[in-house]
Amino acid sequence: MLNRNDPKALRWLLGAQIASFRHDAGLSLAQLRELTGVSRAKLGTMETGRFGQNADDVALILEACGAPKDDITRLSTMARRIGGRSWWAKYADVLPDWFTLYAGLEGLAESLFTMELWAMPGILQTEAYARAVTGSTSLVRPDHVERFARFRTERSARLTDAANPLRLDVVLAETAFRVQVGGPDVMAAQFDHVLDLIDSGGVSVQILLPEAGARPVGAGQLTLLRFDDGFEAAYTELIDGASYVSAPAKARAYRWAADEIQRVALTPEESLKQIRAWRKRM
């Protein structure tokens, strides 16, 4: 079983769920302070996950919010196990700070939905494809390309981890298969890699054709992470940063968008047939 521990991501995830219970209870930070005696500043940092959350404080806050006992136990236990070294720490010097939280959350997630329009998602890339696509951008230093490519392939190991696999559902625009990255040999190997992952049973790929018409997500990139307790968060990438959505009501809107995208895309069976046809013509 691969170690995907990440204290930063665990703090964020715990904080997001504390905030969710507080909002569901209709309590402001000031009101929660009155109920618990925990300072407003500390409550705020617990919800953002900027600092460690004490298990006893977590239980006290959740009890004040009327959270079910099972959730209090689950989140208090999460607080107790926060610590250690992040799985991506050896790549910290080549990763942008804004991406490290996502790397941690992806490692903790049970399943993942992602949509991309222009290239293969990082988690699906072969090392050669990752090296070529990374080397083509000025956002990554030339001397960091090799290690960044290795980081991307290490991410993908979760997809075939028998003890703790990551379920992946992907919607890709036709362009992602058409854009030439690294030459014919690199593209052929990338196609074969995607086909092997589909055959493994843990990855589903759907192709979005232009004929499908307008999409509910105009930006072209969307990721939804679902965790083993059912909590879901949305992630969208910017040029030099990222946006995270954890409030359940807002995350549900992203889930609706993902469902709509999957509805208008080719089915997994149709998509597999199309990918195989493209591969034969290479």
* DSSP letters spanning 41-64: HHHHHHHHTSS---HHHHHHHHHH
pLDDT tens, residue by residue, 26-74: 999 999 999 999 999 999 999 999 888 999 999 999 999 999 999 999 9
Mind listing the pLDDT tens digit for each residue in 137-188?
Answer: 766 788 888 898 889 889 999 999 989 999 999 999 999 999 999 999 999 9
User: What domains can you pick out in the chain, each with its CATH number?
Assistant: 7-80 (1.10.260.40), 93-280 (3.30.870)
Per-residue pLDDT at 212 exceeds 70: no
Is residue 201 left, alpha or beta, with left meaning phi > 0 and alpha meaning psi from -120 to 50? left
Q: What's the Cα-to-Cα distance from 47 to each of 82, 85, 94, 156, 249, rounded to whole Å?
A: 15, 22, 28, 30, 17
Question: pLDDT digit string (tens) for 100-122?
Answer: 999 999 999 999 999 998 889 99
